[in-house]
Structure 1
Amino acid sequence: MAYMYLFIAIVSEVIATNLLKATNGFTKLFPTVSCLVLYFVCFYALSKAIKFMPLGVAYAVWGAVGVIFITLFSVFYWKESVNLPTIIGLSLIIIGTILVNIYGGSHS
C-alpha cells in the first residue's frame, strides 16, 4: 500500500512540475490549475505513504525518482541540456537513495 501511494505521489509531482514550467509564471489558466491540483494530489499521496513507511525512506525515494524523471523530461520534452556534473549529481542521488532504502528503515 505504501508504495502505491508513493508511486501516485511521484507521478503527480513529476507531471505537476512539468506543468509548472508550462504555466509561464502562472499566466496560463489550464496549466496553472492542473499544476496546483496535481501538487495537492502529490502531497496527499505522500502523506498517506508515510503512514506505512519511514518518512526518510519515503522522502528519499520520492525526491530521487522525481528529480530523475523531471531531468529526463527536461531533456527530452523541454530540450534542455544536461552536463557531466548534473549526471554525476544524479548518480549520487541514486546511490544515496539506495543507501537510505537499505539502512533508513532501521530504528536504533
Structure 2
Amino acid sequence: MNPYVLLIGSILFEVFGSSMMKASNGFKKLVPTVGLVIGMGSAFYLLSKALEHIPLGTAYAIWSGAGTALTAIVGILVWKEKFNLKILLGLLIIIAGVVVLKLSH
C-alpha cells in the first residue's frame, strides 16, 4: 500500500482519537474513551507502517502538522471553539510548513 495513504489514515485516526479525548470528559465516558484508544492505537500503528518507507522527519512533520491543523478545525466546527484571524494565520503557517517539508524530499 502507498505509504502516504497509510500516513493520511494515521492522521485521520489521530484527529478522531483527539476528538474522542475531548468527548470522554476526562475518561469519565466509556464509549468516547474506547474511541480514543482505538483512534490513537490505529494512528500509531499506521504511522509505524508509513515510517517503513517515509523518512522519520518528513512523516512526523506531516503527521503532526496536518493533525494539529485538522484537530483545530474539528475544535472549531464540532466543539464551537473560537476562531479568529490569529488562529487562521497559525493554521496557514502550519500547512505551509508541512508543504515546504514535503517538497524538501
Q: TM-score range by the shorter chain?
A: over 0.9
Correspondence for 1:22: 23
Correspondence for 2:58: 57
- SS at the partner of 1:27? coil
Q: Which amino acid aligns with 2:24?
A: T
CA distance in 2, matches of 1:93, 1:72: 13
Provide the identity percentage: 38
- SS at the partner of 2:80? coil
Question: Taking structure 2 as the reference length, what is the TM-score of the superposition?
Answer: 0.92
- SS at the partner of 1:26? coil
Unaligned runs of 5+ in 2: none
Question: Taking structure 1 as the reference length, what is the TM-score of the superposition?
Answer: 0.90
CA distance in 2, matches of 1:51, 1:73: 29
Q: Tell me the matched-pair count.
A: 104
CA distance in 2, matches of 1:97, 1:34: 27
TM superposition shift of 1:60: 1.4
- SS at the partner of 1:52? coil
CA distance in 2, matches of 1:53, 1:102: 13
After TM superposition, list the pairs within 5 Å mapping 1:74-85 onto structure 2: 74-85=75-86
Q: Which amino acid aligns with 2:55?
A: P
Correspondence for 2:3: 2
Unaligned runs of 5+ in 1: none
Correspondence for 1:100: 101
CA distance in 2, matches of 1:72, 1:34: 19
Q: Which amino acid aligns with 2:82?
A: S
CA distance in 1, matches of 2:102, 2:9: 19
CA distance in 2, matches of 1:39, 1:99: 26
